[in-house]
Structure 1
Amino acid sequence: MGNFRQKMRAAGCSEVKINARNAGPPVKKLKRAKKSEVNFLPDFPEGKDELDLEKERCAMIIEMSKRKVDWKLIDELMNITFSLRRKEIVHDEPLVARVQERWPALFNEKQIEAEFSRLTSVNLKTSFFNGLDYYQPGLLDLYKAKAGKVAALRKLMACLNDQSTTQRKREVVLLGLPHFLKEDPICAFKTAETTDEEASITEGLKVGVVTIKDGEDIVATSLVLEEQIILHDVKDFTQAIALLMGLLFSLNIDYPRGLRYTFEVVQKVFMDIGGGQCSSMVHGLRNRLLRNAM
């Protein structure tokens, strides 16, 4: 029992309050759900209080520190502690680094998907890729029509031919979306070389995807939050966007202001989450795509 208590202290289990993302006096009025989460701030499980859930969180920390992690146990502990995690994230708006410290399992790819499902009752990757593929032909037609006036779209469309894979078409749709919507992707999508220092790559990048190249070859894709790489070695750019959506929901982080329409299309058109309330621009685009799909 003594060793367990020492591990609990080492895991920071005596702390319940966590640092605020934004310094200053506490805000009395809570941030409301903006992304149609069905479980934005759930109640604690019946028969459990905050201390009970804190003990479960500590057990999760201990399990995550092991060389061979029992991921089935982690899934159970993350399910049990969901309401405590949401309370901390919504009430205290902690820095991402602090969430990583207290909830390291949340930054595992499978747990990002699981947390998104807990929040929205929607499968993250299935909804994202099904919607992306459904609207892909219509968007490519729109890009083609606009390519003569937008150099970035013209360059992207030149990468496609009759033999292009579904994966390549997905990438072109996602990379072209900001240009089509007259937004600048540089605020969230960045390309760097293997010789670049990590600090210079992430500097100023609050939310985004970084693609690392060695010449013309892509060697790594990473997710960045608050100027820190928080997920390395993502499979590809499209997977990175899906996982980024999962993290933004899970951490209650706003979309980058400079790409608000791009992310709104991903959420409300591709994933069909909260689509009943769209900006006029996104509503118009969705209607055009639906007409073309008929």
Structure 2
Amino acid sequence: MTRDLKHDILEKLASTIYGFKAYPSDNNIAMVAEALVATHPCLKEAGSQTGWNGWKQSIKFKMGNYRNKMRQAGCLEVIVNDGKRSRSNPHNEPPHSNIKRPKQAEVNFLPNLPQGENPSSLEHLRQTIFEEVKKTEMDLSLIKKMMQTTFALRRQTIVRTCPPVKELMDLWPALKMESEVYAEFQRITNQNLPNTFYAAFDRHLPRLMAIFREKASKTGKTAEALADIFKIHDEQEESEPELGGVAVALLTVTSDNGTSQVHYQPVTISVVIENDIVVSLPRLADAFLVMFGLIYALHLSYPKGLTNTFEFTEKVLLGLEDGKLSPKLQTLKNDLMMHL
């Protein structure tokens, strides 16, 4: 293979990869290298155990060069990580620290401003949205259109400065609307959140219920908790909620003074983020989806104690990223797929 041919192959690969991710993981790049050799066996490396490890290193190096080109071209997704430590800036952060990149399969992570718009014109639209949301009879189609136009401005604020959630929600009150949370999620991931989630959940629910009932029939704290949940599910009882000190939570409001911890007919379910109630909804499933959507909209990390729950939703139910699962989640996924 000539040097020019290899350069052309790597350039095309880098351009295509960048269309999906500006910062692909090591596993992502390995998958590309393996697929390249599988599709074009003539490119397999002689003497290599895998036949593509050299390609993997070349692609990784090329991606760094390609990001530099995009940075020079003014692409915000990589400009945001510019200005790291160098000979001319010896006191800046190390080049590999605090890199701002997609957290959970965010396709549109940090887009450039729309053509013909600037921060001043988009700020004017933001103020118009703010006033429109105050009205008793809101123009929902107008709000959606303006939220779409101001998406890039919003992402710049969220990703670059990471302000508190309350401050963001005050700036963008439309994100307290269920429909706009779903619209924002689609802008970020190109996926319809409620349609995809409920279709997958309905498909897996019978097996999930069977798995949980099996666990509830055993002994131990987990089994006792699950047994209590299913007892309440079967009897449809209500009780007062307990809200733990977590980054995100669902606050259940009931109409009685029961003692159980599970509520199937609450008055409202409130989404709590950073100790503030963001929005209240009548159904638990919708409240969970809005909470999940807001994690994406506000570029938040999954809370440590709920990582498995959110990763199961992201990778198994929504299929947003075919990344590596923890052993527990992989076992659960395998069990679900075997019974489809």
Compute the TM-score of the two structures, normalised by the length of structure 1: 0.73
Query: Match of 2:71?
Result: none
Could you give the per-residue CA deviations for residues 9-39 of structure 1, whole angstroms, max 9, x where no partner exists? xxxxxxxxxxxxxxxxx98844321210111
- From the superposition, tell whether residues 159 and 275 of structure 1 become closer, same or farther in structure 2 (CA, over 3 Å): farther
| Structure of greater Rg | 2
Distance of 2:291 and 2:166 partners within structure 1: 16
Shift of residue 203 of structure 1?
7.2
Alignment of 1:159-198 (within 5 A): 159=232, 192=240
Percent sequence identity is 32
Shift of residue 202 of structure 1?
6.0
1:152 to 225, 241, 245: 225
Mapped contact 1:192–1:210 kept (Cα < 8 A):
no
Mapped contact 1:57–1:81 kept (Cα < 8 A):
yes
Other structure's SS at 2:320 match: coil
2:274 to 215, 226, 232: 226
Distance of 2:247 and 2:323 partners within structure 1: 28
Query: Match of 1:213?
Result: 254
Shift of residue 91 of structure 1?
0.6
Q: Give, as a single letter, the amino acid of the residue that structure 2 aligns with 1:114.
A: A
Mapped contact 1:213–1:220 kept (Cα < 8 A):
yes
Alignment of 1:12-51 (within 5 A): 29-51=98-120
Mapped contact 1:202–1:227 kept (Cα < 8 A):
no
Alignment of 1:1-294 (within 5 A): 29-147=98-216, 148-149=218-219, 150-159=223-232, 192=240, 204-215=245-256, 216=258, 218-232=266-280, 234-293=281-340
Q: Give, as a single letter, the amino acid of the residue that structure 1 aligns with 2:227.
A: R
Distance of 1:158 and 1:286 partners within structure 2: 26
Q: How many residues align?
A: 233
Could you give the per-residue CA deviations for residues 28-63 of structure 1, whole angstroms, max 9, x where no partner exists? 844321210111111111122222211211221222
Shift of residue 144 of structure 1?
2.0
Q: Give, as a single letter, the amino acid of the residue that structure 2 aligns with 1:121.
A: N
Q: Give, as a single letter, the amino acid of the residue that structure 2 aligns with 1:151.
A: E
Distance of 1:73 and 1:160 partners within structure 2: 42
Mapped contact 1:223–1:244 kept (Cα < 8 A):
yes
Q: CA RMSD in A?
A: 2.3
Mapped contact 2:248–2:272 kept (Cα < 8 A):
yes
Query: Match of 1:171?
Result: none
Mapped contact 2:266–2:282 kept (Cα < 8 A):
no
Other structure's SS at 2:312 match: helix
Other structure's SS at 2:132 match: helix
Distance of 1:43 and 1:202 partners within structure 2: 39
Compute the TM-score of the two structures, normalised by the length of structure 2: 0.64
Query: Match of 1:9?
Result: none
Other structure's SS at 2:292 match: helix
Could you give the per-residue CA deviations for residues 171-210 of structure 1, whole angstroms, max 9, x where no partner exists? xxxxxxxxxxxxxxxxxxxx746xxxxxxx7673420101
Shift of residue 145 of structure 1?
1.8
Distance of 1:34 and 1:95 partners within structure 2: 18
Mapped contact 1:202–1:229 kept (Cα < 8 A):
no
Could you give the per-residue CA deviations for residues 73-108 of structure 1, whole angstroms, max 9, x where no partner exists? 111110000000011001111111111111111111
> Does 1 or 2 have the higher relative contact order (CA < 8 Å, sep 6+)?
1
Other structure's SS at 1:214 match: coil
Mapped contact 1:36–1:273 kept (Cα < 8 A):
yes
Shift of residue 66 of structure 1?
2.9
Distance of 2:136 and 2:214 partners within structure 1: 54
- From the superposition, tell whether residues 91 and 266 of structure 1 become closer, same or farther in structure 2 (CA, over 3 Å): same
Mapped contact 1:268–1:275 kept (Cα < 8 A):
yes
- From the superposition, tell whether residues 213 and 157 of structure 1 become closer, same or farther in structure 2 (CA, over 3 Å): same
Structure 2, unaligned runs of 5 or more = 1-91, 259-264
